[in-house]
Amino acid sequence: MKVNIHLNKRVAVIGAGMTQFRRRILETPQEIAWEASSKALEEAGLELKDIECVVIGSAPDAFDGVNLKGEYLSHGSGGIRKPSSRVFVGGATGVMAAITGWYHVASGMCNTVLVVAEEKMSPARPHPQSVFRYIWDPILEKPLNPNLIWIFAMEMHRYMATYGIKKEEIALVSVKNKRNAANNPYAQLGGNITVDDVLNSEVLVWPVQLLDISPVSDGGAAMIMASEDVARRYSDTPIWVDGVGWTLDNTEWPARDLAYARYLEFAARMAYKMAGIENPYKELDVIEPYDPFDYKELHHIEGLRIAQRGEAPKLLKEGVFDIDGDIPSSPSGGLLGVGNPIAAAGLMKVISIYWQLKGTAGKMQVKKPVHTGLAQAWGDLMQASTVIIMRN
């Protein structure tokens, strides 16, 4: 990792914890946050008094039905009487929370940071999609009364049309990720399905069908980040953060290239440069790209420059991204299988890579030695992307 005079402290992850991802969890958002936090502290061998700073990640306030959600969640996140902050970049929040935790330690501000991400989507009525009606440009877009599935359907259609990709090829992502999620004790929708199951599921907005999309979920995730001296004191297997990257593309989605995740390429280049990675296909051992829809995993694998434009479906069909493939992708089961409590889902991706590199992923552990992993998330008005690279 290249360091500079301002960010010169090495940062490690030394503990992580999660709640189960489910719909209509009865616990309050604060209770969800604390369950994940206490598990992360236990794995790290720390107590709350050992934590110097807290970073909270959560998506729009409306999901949980409370305003000023960072302040609200600070009770359950151990943030009282500590420097606490909240970050929010839509679906990219979970990885951005981890990046912010890294920043706190790398800058020398804190030696220990508790990073907590929570989301409770079930209370949104009549459906979480209704919350998104307020994200559109009030002059250019709101009069059309769009919803996010419309936009994703246009992007998926553009991706398929530009590169001649068939729905059967994209459906293989759902088949793979739900199969992987069957090995994940926190997963909401793991199981064995077929391509025909995806193709015969309910059409939402063509070409998006029910099994192309991740479920509505509640859940929490947390991890402990520490400076090198603290990490070596408490862990024999610290996992180092060696690269981070984030970008925002144009907020005007009609002006963007919907066939290619340019926003992600820029974030990935930033993280690769920092981690000293020149050929991601050869140098990454395991990845967790953001997959709220099945086509987005392929879209993001290409944006990460692991596959050429339009070639990710071919590599998927050849088994490259299977759990025993050359570059296992979403061994956790991803959002399609584990669930999608938005901010917590992104941090779940980071935790999945942490557990893979530590060798404690249990039945999710990939079938080859792994030393370098990448987690990525995406969100806001589809233009924000966040990337983190870790090594053991």
Distance CA 329, CA 106 (A): 28
Q: Which residues lie across from 57 on neighbouring strands?
A: 87, 117
Distance CA 308, CA 92 (A): 23
DSSP 48-81: GGG--EEEEE---GGGTT-SSHHHHHHTTTT-TT
CA torsion sign for 292, 294, 299, 303 is positive
Distance CA 317, CA 188 (A): 25
Average pLDDT of the residues of the chain: 93
DSSP 279-321: -HHHH-SEEE---SBHHHHHHHHHHTTSS-TTTHHHHHHTTTT
pLDDT of residue 92: 94
The whole-number average pLDDT for the span 332-351 is 97
- Kindly report, residue by residue over 217-233, the tens digit of the pLDDT: 999 999 999 999 999 99
pTM of the model: 0.96
pLDDT of residue 392: 97
pLDDT of residue 2: 53
Q: Which residues lie across from 225 on neighbouring strands?
A: 13, 113
Find the angle CA(359)-CA(46)-CA(371) to the nearest 5 degrees: 20
Choose the weakest-confidence range: 97-101, 129-133, 157-161. Answer: 129-133
Among candidate residues 247, 1, 220, 221, the one with its CA nearest the CA of residue 105? 1
Distance CA 149, CA 147 (A): 6
Distance CA 330, CA 247 (A): 22
Tokens 């739900």 appear where? 178
Please say whether the beta carbons of 151 and 269 come within 8 A.
no
Confidence of residue 5 (pLDDT cuts 50, 70, 90): low
pLDDT above 80: residue 8? no
The residue ranges of DSSP E strands in the chain, in sequence order, are: 11-18, 53-57, 84-87, 112-120, 203-205, 208-209, 218-227, 239-248, 286-288, 372-379, 384-391
pLDDT of residue 35: 97
Q: Omega before 29 cis (within 30°)? A: no
pLDDT of residue 130: 78
pLDDT above 90: residue 107? yes
pLDDT of residue 115: 98
pLDDT of residue 44: 97
pLDDT of residue 311: 98
The whole-number average pLDDT for the span 161-184 is 98
pLDDT above 80: residue 134? no
pLDDT of residue 183: 97
pLDDT above 90: residue 16? yes
- Kindly report, residue by residue over 48-96, the tens digit of the pLDDT: 999 999 999 998 777 777 888 888 999 899 999 999 999 999 899 999 9
pLDDT above 70: residue 301? yes
pLDDT of residue 4: 55
Among candidate residues 3, 119, 114, 106, the one with its CA nearest the CA of residue 52? 114
Please say whether the beta carbons of 254 and 262 come within 8 A.
no
- Kindly report, residue by residue over 109-126, the tens digit of the pLDDT: 999 999 999 999 888 877
Which class for 38: exposed (0-12), middle (13-18), buried (19 or more C-beta within 10 A)? middle
